[in-house]
Amino acid sequence: MLILLKRRSGEITPFRNADFIPAFYFIPKSILDKCGSELNSIPRNPRKLLQNRDAIAMVESDLFLLAIIDAYAYMVWPFMGLGAKREIYSGYEPSWIFAHAAPYWIQEMQEEKILPAAKELLKGGGVDETFGYVSEEEISDLFSWLVPQTMAHHNMNAVINTSKEFRCFEDFDYRNSRQKIDHYRKWYHTRVKNVTVESLDELKERYAENNDGMDWDIPDEDSDMNRTVLEPMAVSKFLALLSETDRQILTMRMEGITLEKIAEKLGYKTHSAIYKRIRKIGLAYEEFTGEDLGFSNKKII
């Protein structure tokens, strides 16, 4: 709910960051002491806060919002079940993003009636009560069940597990860590013995060398003989134009028989001759149908 303030000018405007005031009161003193004197100067009495222009300005500042985000990330991280320090990850890593998404955790606390809504503290000029500090032990007892519950409600584990499966360098902070080094080793196979890592281009070049210069390419629908050359109606007419040997080659190729097996069955010494004949058949079919299927570019399936 939007909370409005009457400014010195008489203008009524929204009270920025007011929704986070209850969450601010829930941060342990041991954490707030590390946040500087400005934040600790905010009155812990809601009524006194609303009467203090400097305190209002501090609540509306980016410093206040950043303190909420960082403090809750610090508190929830040990209970997210990650088994790693928060600092090893960059801001792109999903678990880091979830930990710093303070509204998730605060909303869950409000739904569980652990935190009041800001409007309850600030209505009628503010509750005239000074709030003490929550201990780290109380935080630990509470977050041990609340954090897993929040993660389940928002399906965070599925996202985090997927990111683990598809790690990338951007997931890690610029500093070295055991996890970052482990990822580097897996990525570059630095600990694999007697294995040569080859690029896709190298594999293509070697394939061409071993197959009479034939290109290794991903089949597409336009050049797939099972979808085009071998369409039943077209084949019946086209087969009549072929020699007996070419018909046998085409029929066996339709059945998925390899070039080597076809060469062996028809008495050819190598499969190179079969490859050339199929290319010739393909070119003939292009002329027969008037379609460009890619045989002129040495593409063959």
> What is the reported pLDDT for 233?
63
Torsion-angle region of 189 (φ positive above 0: left; ψ -120 to 50: alpha; else: beta): left
> What is the reported pLDDT for 298?
55
> What is the reported pLDDT for 26?
95
> What is the reported pLDDT for 232?
62
> What is the reported pLDDT for 251?
84
175: Cβ contacts below 8 Å, ≥ 6 apart: 87, 88
> What is the reported pLDDT for 221?
52
> What is the reported pLDDT for 301?
47
Residue whose entry in the numeric block shows the structure tokens 């303070």: 102
Residue type for 166, please?
F
> What is the reported pLDDT for 201?
78
All structural domains of the chain, each given as residue ranges with its CATH number in brackets, are: 4-165 (no CATH), 219-297 (1.10.10)
Question: Which mean pLDDT values do the consecutive 10-residue runs of the chain (301 residues) have?
Answer: 86 94 95 92 94 95 95 95 85 92 95 93 90 94 96 94 86 82 76 67 78 65 50 70 85 84 85 82 80 63 47
Rounded CA gap, 3 and 118, in Å?
8
> What is the reported pLDDT for 144?
95
Rounded CA gap, 161 and 156, in Å?
9
